[in-house]
Amino acid sequence: MKIGKTVFLIILVLIVSSNAKTDSLQTIPQDSFPIQKDVFHLKAYEPFRVGYSCADGEGASLKKSCANNGFMDFFISVEYPFFEFYSEYLNSLLNDKLHINSTTQLLPVPVITFSSRFAQYIATRRSSPVVSKSFNPKLLLRWGKPDDNYRLEIGYAHESNGQSISDSLAYFRERAVDSTQEVESGFPYFSMETDEKLSRGWDFFDANYRLFLNVYRSRFTLFGNYKYFFPVGIIQGSADNKRKWETTGLNIKRQEVDGLFFSVEYQYNVVWYILEFPRKWKRDTPTFGNPRLLLSARTGIKNSFDYNTIRTEISFDILGFPISLYYQKGFLNDLSMYYHDGNTIGASFIFR
């Protein structure tokens, strides 16, 4: 009975407070709520992407792949910083104790991130299947606040593709089934359809550093990333590299094509109004604006610079829509076939 009364009183207080006048709330000083800060919040980690991609592969040129094996390409990425407020508070106490600049961040903020990529083969494969490409959770320690010109992250990460084929018997059985069903359904069959179902997974140490440089209306972003792949990890267990019975592609491990990554992005912060819109739209809907150019290079931590990947990406806003176009030459377009040296092109909406 007491519990029922308590719940009733709580609901009553909430109803009364929701009907209170706004003016009365504004009279309460903001300092009365020192922890009314976004202590816990979910937000984007890397830019979200929704677009269309195609890559050449075993038995399929880039042109043929785009016509018969292209796919809708989805990428989502979120982060969850926790104890952010308490980290700032402890940093301020430590800085006072050591008599150093109050803005210096000595203690990091713990961050959990999750990124995922998946594809849907609309009208290019039987029943338009959705295929998982990558699942990438990380536990990181971060230095650098949002208004700083740098960000440093180190931590433990896992990446896998969510597939299950890990032995030769299952692979060749699946390959026979895929080829038969695709041909009978009137769709062309490529061996990469079965290769995409090969299980891949790694645990690795991850460290990255990002530096922001603002020059007039321009912004440069320099980024470097280092990964060390564990032979046996806490989440993955034994690393899932290419197996001896896999017959396509180069016989190499992931650490030979990945582990060192560098990129530079140039952004020109300007907008142009070319088309005529009603005056009230002009400020919010430019015809073209915020062009960016991204150049990146990736290579392995083992046999560095033997197996390289380069990527060029151009992005811009058109009528308020953020558009991205990219071309990639090299490896790791798909985790299951990380060993394939090929070409990839794509276009997408990109949300930062």
Domain layout of the chain by residue ranges: 43-351
pLDDT digits (tens, 9 = 90+) for 210-231: 999 999 889 999 999 999 999 9
Could you give the CA distance from residue 186 to residue 182 in angstroms, rounded to a whole number?
6
Which residue blocks in the chain are alpha helix, DSSP H? 2-18, 22-26, 62-68, 84-98, 168-184, 192-195, 279-282
What token pair was written down for 284? 């919010």
Instruction: Give me the amino acid identity at 23.
Output: D
**pLDDT, averaged across the chain:** 84
> Which residue is associated with the tokens 């090299």?
330
Could you give the CA distance from residue 69 to residue 57 in angstroms, rounded to a whole number?
10
pLDDT attached to residue 32:
38
Q: Which residues pair with 188 in a beta bridge?
A: none
> Which residue is associated with the tokens 């009183």?
9
Could you give the CA distance from residue 207 to residue 224 in angstroms, rounded to a whole number?
8
Could you give the CA distance from residue 108 to residue 42 in angstroms, rounded to a whole number?
18
Query: Exposed/middle/buried for 211, CB within 10 Å: 0-12, 13-18, 19+?
Result: middle
Distances (CA, A) of 215 to 63, 144, 266, 285, 295: 40, 20, 11, 25, 19
Instruction: Give me the amino acid identity at 83.
Output: F
pLDDT attached to residue 286:
65
φ/ψ of 181, rounded to 5, equals: -65, -40
pLDDT attached to residue 10:
45
Could you give the CA distance from residue 295 to residue 328 in angstroms, rounded to a whole number?
10
Distances (CA, A) of 275 to 269, 285, 292, 337: 19, 10, 21, 45
CATH superfamily, with its number, for domain 43-351? Phospholipase A1 (2.40.230.10)
pLDDT attached to residue 136:
98
Task: Give yes or no for a contact between 179 and 135, defined as CB atoms under 8 angstroms apart.
Answer: no
Other beta carbons less than 10 A from residue 331's beta carbon = 25
Distances (CA, A) of 64 to 67, 187, 235: 5, 13, 38
Averages of pLDDT over each 10 residues, the chain, 352 residues: 46 43 40 46 92 83 83 96 81 82 83 96 88 96 90 98 93 88 77 89 98 93 98 96 89 97 93 61 66 97 97 91 95 94 95 88
